[in-house]
Amino acid sequence: MITKEDLHSYVEIERKEIIKRGDDFFQCAELGFCEVQTSKKIIDLLVDWGVPYQKDVALTGIIATIGQENGYHIAVVADMDALPKKDGSGTIHSCGHSIQTTIALTVLKALLDSNVLAQTDCKVSFFFTPAEEFIDFEYRDGLIAQGKVEFRSGKQNMIALGCFDGVDCVLSAHANGEVDTKFDVGSTLAGFMAKKAVFVGRAAHSGVAPHIGRNALHGATLAMSGISFLKDQFAPDKGLRLNPVLAECGGSVNVIPQQTVLETYVRANDNETLLEACEKVDLCLTHCAKALELDCVITNTVGYLPLRQSNKINSIVKENMLQFCSPEEIMENPVSGASGDVGDLSFLIPTVQFGFSGISGRFHDDSFQISDLENCYINAAKVMLGIVYDMVKEKNNRVLTSNYKEKKEEYLSFIRKNS
């Protein structure tokens, strides 16, 4: 009978190779739906290890499954994409997705080498997902227009393709910032909707007859003030974030602006708050325009849903973290204003995403560095392995999805309506 400690020993055997692999993926930074070399590196490893896989899923994604074909189904999910460098010189893994990929491959190899799943009725699928960062809209919208993908996000496309049908739970991990703790458990991620409001007025000569014009910039400015007041209508724990910007001001110094574009994300910690805030923002935009005799055309683009984690699975997560740190080194239930498409999975399937420290510099910045290789690559992988082990070995630890078909239909209807 293989023990959890036996399983961890397979990580130790591969220690040098894991760290080398992590650096290799960190250096291979590619934007969403462009992860060609990253995918090739993953596939080369899967071929070498004799693991069956699907490739080109949602353009560049990969799914590899090991274990019993019809058993309890665990998904280990890892992002692959990177971000543009701020100095414009290329790309960088400044959100740590290369670490996720490395952790997932480490867990896969340990499960494979130990053959522990043969002693269970379970299978584990590894989802290497593209395009988590919500950026590069022109390129992604071009892919949508060509029919190559349906949505801007990798996981959203994988959900629509049915890749997660039959999955019972989702396990994921993500690097956190420069903190004094080693891990975090039970964190939230905000959901968000992207809004674009085009205010349309009437141009006029600003010196000769400004009164016959209708200033679109005034409408957008008034709306920005109104939106700032909306924040006071929501409790702090709702996580509402509204920071509109003027994307286009229009006009020139001697012309009353005929068109002005305001853009904003609406972020919130739960779906109810997100939808309520979106409705109030729309009312603010619309009525500020009407007050100044302007037209306002609002376009919504769905972002990601809030992350809501499984408490039951997170109790297992914490137990496994405590093998590598003290209770004081675990941050519990942190609230984040960031967003991720793992939130969409959590709407459908019991999901966890634990955090691990070991990063210096700032996220989404060229200063990002992996400073604690032990915690990022070794400890985090062992925690993930321990979670899988506890769930496959003890049926009472297993969490099942409910009403998946109905939730998926509701979800796809929502994002198709707002995409």
Residue 237, pLDDT score:
87
Q: Are 15 and 144 found together in one domain?
A: yes
Q: Are residues 161 and 50 in the same domain?
A: yes
- Does 334 share its domain with 320? yes
CB-based burial label for 71 (10 Å; 0-12, 13-18, 19+): middle
For residue 143, the model assigns a pLDDT of 98
Same domain, 205 and 173: no
Domain containing 206: what range? 191-302
Q: Show which of 273, 302, 331 is a domain's final residue.
A: 302
CA distance 108 to 86: 34
| Sign, Cα dihedral of 404, 405, 406, 411 | positive
Q: CA-to-CA distance for 230 and 63, rounded, in angstroms?
A: 43
- In this structure, the answer to whether residues 264 and 369 fall within a common structural domain is no
Residues 212, 311 contacting (CB under 8 angstroms): no
Backbone φ and ψ for 257, nearest 5 degrees, come out as -60, 125
> Which residues, in sequence order, are CB contacts of 41 under 8 Å at separation 6+?
24, 25, 28
Do 75 and 158 belong together in one domain?
yes
**Which residues of the chain fall below pLDDT 70?**
178
pLDDT, position 192: 94
Same domain, 270 and 401: no
Whose tokens are 């964190």? That residue is: 187
**Cβ neighbour number for residue 216 with a 10 Å cutoff:** 30
Question: Coil, strand or helix: which one is 58?
Answer: coil
Q: What is the pLDDT of residue 181?
A: 93
Q: How far apart are the first and last CA of the chain?
A: 50
Q: Are strands 369-370 and 359-360 parallel, antiparallel or unpaired?
A: antiparallel
- pLDDT score recorded for residue 66: 97
pLDDT for the residue 417: 86
Phi first, then psi: what are they for 298, rounded to 5°? -105, 130
Looking at residue 61, its pLDDT comes to 98
Residue 219 and residue 348 share a domain: no
- CATH number of domain containing 273: 3.30.70.360
Q: Of the residues 302, 325, 341, which one is the last residue of a structural domain?
A: 302
Domain check: are 183 and 210 in the same one? no
**Whole-prediction pTM:** 0.90
Buried b (16+ CB within 10 A) or exposed e, 262-274: bebbbbbbbeebb
120 and 246 housed in the same domain:
no
Cβ neighbours of residue 231 under 8 Å, at least 6 residues apart?
240, 242
pLDDT recorded at residue 336? 85
d(CA 366, CA 364): 7
pLDDT of residue 166: 97
> Do 392 and 323 have their domain in common?
yes
Number of domains in the chain: 2
225 and 352 inside one domain: no
- The pLDDT of residue 367 is 95
- Provide the CATH number for the domain around residue 52: 3.40.630.10
> Smallest Cα–Cα separation from 71: which of 165, 188, 167?
167
pLDDT of residue 77: 98
**Domain boundary residue among 242, 273, 302?**
302
